[in-house]
Chain A
Amino acid sequence: MSIATQTVSGIRKGLLARDFSATELTQQALAFAQAENPKTNAYLRLCPERALEAAAKVDAAIAAGRDPGLLAGVPVAVKDVILTKGVITTCASKILEHYVPPYDATAIERLEAAGGIIIGKTNCDEFAMGSSNENSAFGPVRNPVALDRVPGGSSGGSAAVVAQGTAVVSLGSDTGGSIRQPASFCGVVGVTPTYGRVSRYGLSAFASSLDHIGPFARNVADAATLLEVMSGRDIMDSTSAAAPVPSYAASMTGDVRGMRIGVPVEYMAHATGETAGLINKAIDTLRGLGCEVVDVSLPSTDYAVAAYYVICTAEASSNLARYDGVRYTTRSEDASSLIGMYQHSRGEGFGPEVKRRIMLGTYVLSHGYYDAYYLKAQKVRALVARDFSRAFGKLDAIVAPVSPFPAFKIGEKVDDPVAMYLSDIYTITGSLAGIPCMSVPCGLTGDGLPVGLQILCDHFHEPEMFRLAHAFESAAGVFGIPLSTSEPIQ
């Protein structure tokens, strides 16, 4: 049995048949992650003590004849912006280098209650700000598919460990594409659920009106199970939705005949080269499955990037005010006055991209500029959301590229923040509208680089999204392949 080829349902079956114990599986997962991690720098740290304790509970439940849960024994990696009690959580920032959270995020509690085993914390862009994972204070992550390339960002480590096979599933966070884009770059499934579907209690806030927690997996069914376990109302997050959580497994019938799928003309006008070719091939596959594919117009698309970067930096400048050298670990030595201590602690603790966004956000909220930037951006956001709600009046889903290009070389775009921001165009629109969207692998370029197909649905229509993604995955035969072995997934 190789840990790198396991699935959620396969592990549960193996445990219940007593083929292996959760403790054995966890030990193997930890050893494998330890051995493989130097290649990618995807894990910032492993947490063997916590993992083995959780595994012992699963084994005890099975021994006692109790149901060990939907995620029984599954090794889960967690992006280092999600709090884990007693396990250092840095947000990939120097300013939180020694921070030990006093509580667990709700998503973490729910995963463990379902038998999931948290094995480690993954690298990411500092405070989830970036599209390449090059903004980590602890070094970039390498894409396991091609080690000289970025894994995408900001949840680059979480995508990389699943692609590499050093975790079976993982958690990321998505504010403007931080789950879908790395999923696409690494050839795995990544899901951004409806805004409010998963509680953000214990997620370090970046831009609160846009932040989501969501899963990565090597196949659609595993991602759906992980999301189902985490979803639902949480009294600790007033923005969490009370809407009932349906069975996502039951939605994956394989039958998508008659589904009405829109392809946004504004997106395809930008898409070029091999990415466009693979997306068009995926659209043909959907037609072959009996979907009705039509063009759709989302006319506000061209203004979405500008609106997004105004809103997210404004919210970030406010959210990150809390890191001032008082409450969280690192304080500047240069701290003779109170204001000086704030300024130097922040100046020394934050990296260049975080500083850039704090500055931008402070500027657009400052006196005299609020109406022209922040208020205007919120109105454009309403237009983007209206584009989608009009489209979903006639459509079941929209399909699109995730990124204009596949994984690029480390260092290639790091000096041009404007170009980096503009590359988020396809993922930002769905984030602004708060609709569920996901990336599912749809093929490889001539250089062997993965490309993802993005599927977007209306609020709370995750069941339709998973039904389409699962049918596509089965028809296209493109699964996320763990790269550390050549074995196919069972």
Chain B
Amino acid sequence: MKLTEKEVRYVAGLANLSLSDEELGRMVHDLGGILEQMDRLAEIDTEGIEPMSQVLYDAGDETATLREDVERETLGSEAATANSALAANGYFKVPLVIER
């Protein structure tokens, strides 16, 4: 499937991604080529096949995916915010969202 520049702009908006005009042109070309390959999926018959969203195997009862719900020490807000470009007092700071 070929994509138009308008469609690529729309998808970039959904992905919160700014693209330069040059990147946009390149993206129209590249995505079109890749989607053409992906469109081949329509050729194969999947009637009655359940979608596979994760790897499943027969591992018996031993693969219990849940752990006991017990309290554990957490990272703490200082460590958790330490890598932020802008943080203070254990909070992330972001541009103004709501006007007073």
What residues make up the interface of A, taking CB atoms closer than 8 Å to B? Answer: 98-100, 102-103, 194-196, 209, 235, 238-239, 241-244, 300, 302-303, 305-307, 309-310, 317, 321, 324-331, 335-344, 346-348, 350, 352, 355-356, 358-360, 362-364, 366, 372-373, 375-383, 385, 417-418, 421-422, 433-434, 459-460
A100 CA to B82 CA in the complex, in Å? 9
A369 CA to B57 CA in the complex, in Å? 29
- A-chain residues with CB within 8 Å of residue B82 when the two chains form the complex: 100, 102
Residue of A303, A330, A378, A383 near B85 (CB, 8 A) is A330
B81, closest chain A residue (CB): A327
A421 CA to B64 CA in the complex, in Å? 36
What residues make up the interface of B, taking CB atoms closer than 8 Å to A? Answer: 3, 8, 11-12, 14-20, 23, 26-27, 30-31, 33-44, 46, 49-55, 57, 59-60, 62-67, 75, 79-86, 92, 94-95, 97
Residue of A337, A344, A366 near B14 (CB, 8 A) is A366
Does A355 contact B52, Cβ atoms closer than 8 Å? no
Does A379 contact B49, Cβ atoms closer than 8 Å? yes
Q: Min CB distance, B32 to chain A, in Å?
A: 10
- B-chain residues with CB within 8 Å of residue A433 when the two chains form the complex: 55
- A-chain residues with CB within 8 Å of residue B86 when the two chains form the complex: 331
Does A239 contact B30, Cβ atoms closer than 8 Å? no
Does A243 contact B59, Cβ atoms closer than 8 Å? yes
- B-chain residues with CB within 8 Å of residue A300 when the two chains form the complex: 44
Does A382 contact B50, Cβ atoms closer than 8 Å? yes
A378 CA to B82 CA in the complex, in Å? 38
Top-7 shortest CB links A-B:
A434-B55, A347-B18, A378-B51, A331-B85, A379-B46, A382-B52, A195-B55
Does A337 contact B95, Cβ atoms closer than 8 Å? yes
| Binding site secondary structure of chain B | loop
Does A344 contact B18, Cβ atoms closer than 8 Å? yes
- A-chain residues with CB within 8 Å of residue B35 when the two chains form the complex: 360, 363
Could you write out 15 A-B pairs with CB less than 8 Å apart?
Answer: A235-B67, A303-B40, A306-B37, A325-B85, A335-B95, A337-B95, A338-B97, A343-B16, A346-B16, A355-B19, A355-B27, A358-B17, A359-B8, A380-B41, A381-B51
A331 CA to B83 CA in the complex, in Å? 11
A299, closest chain B residue (CB): B44
A329 CA to B66 CA in the complex, in Å? 33
A158 CA to B92 CA in the complex, in Å? 35
A177 CA to B57 CA in the complex, in Å? 21
Does A459 contact B57, Cβ atoms closer than 8 Å? yes
Does B17 contact A346, Cβ atoms closer than 8 Å? yes
Q: Min CB distance, A81 to chain B, in Å?
A: 16
Does A326 contact B92, Cβ atoms closer than 8 Å? yes
Q: Min CB distance, B2 to chain A, in Å?
A: 12
Does B53 contact A364, Cβ atoms closer than 8 Å? no
Q: Min CB distance, B76 to chain A, in Å?
A: 9
User: Could you say which of A242, A306, A343 has the most chain B C-beta atoms within 10 Å of its C-beta?
Assistant: A306
Q: Min CB distance, B62 to chain A, in Å?
A: 4
B49, closest chain A residue (CB): A379
- B-chain residues with CB within 8 Å of residue A209 when the two chains form the complex: 53-55
- A-chain residues with CB within 8 Å of residue B60 when the two chains form the complex: 243
- B-chain residues with CB within 8 Å of residue A359 when the two chains form the complex: 8, 11-12, 15, 17, 27, 31
A459 CA to B41 CA in the complex, in Å? 26
- A-chain residues with CB within 8 Å of residue B11 when the two chains form the complex: 359, 362-363, 366
B8, closest chain A residue (CB): A359
Does B18 contact A343, Cβ atoms closer than 8 Å? yes
Residue of A98, A100, A350, A417 near B30 (CB, 8 A) is A417
Q: Min CB distance, A61 to chain B, in Å?
A: 27
Does B51 contact A362, Cβ atoms closer than 8 Å? no
Does A362 contact B15, Cβ atoms closer than 8 Å? yes
| Contact flag A327-B84 (CB < 8 Å), given A347-B18, A372-B42 | yes
A418 CA to B30 CA in the complex, in Å? 8
Q: Min CB distance, B28 to chain A, in Å?
A: 10
Does B49 contact A383, Cβ atoms closer than 8 Å? yes
Residue of A331, A339, A350, A356 near B31 (CB, 8 A) is A356
- B-chain residues with CB within 8 Å of residue A239 when the two chains form the complex: 54, 65
A71 CA to B16 CA in the complex, in Å? 44
A309 CA to B84 CA in the complex, in Å? 32
- A-chain residues with CB within 8 Å of residue B79 when the two chains form the complex: 102
Residue of B19, B31, B41 near A307 (CB, 8 A) is B41
Residue of B23, B31, B52, B64 near A363 (CB, 8 A) is B31
Q: Min CB distance, B49 to chain A, in Å?
A: 4
Does A346 contact B8, Cβ atoms closer than 8 Å? no
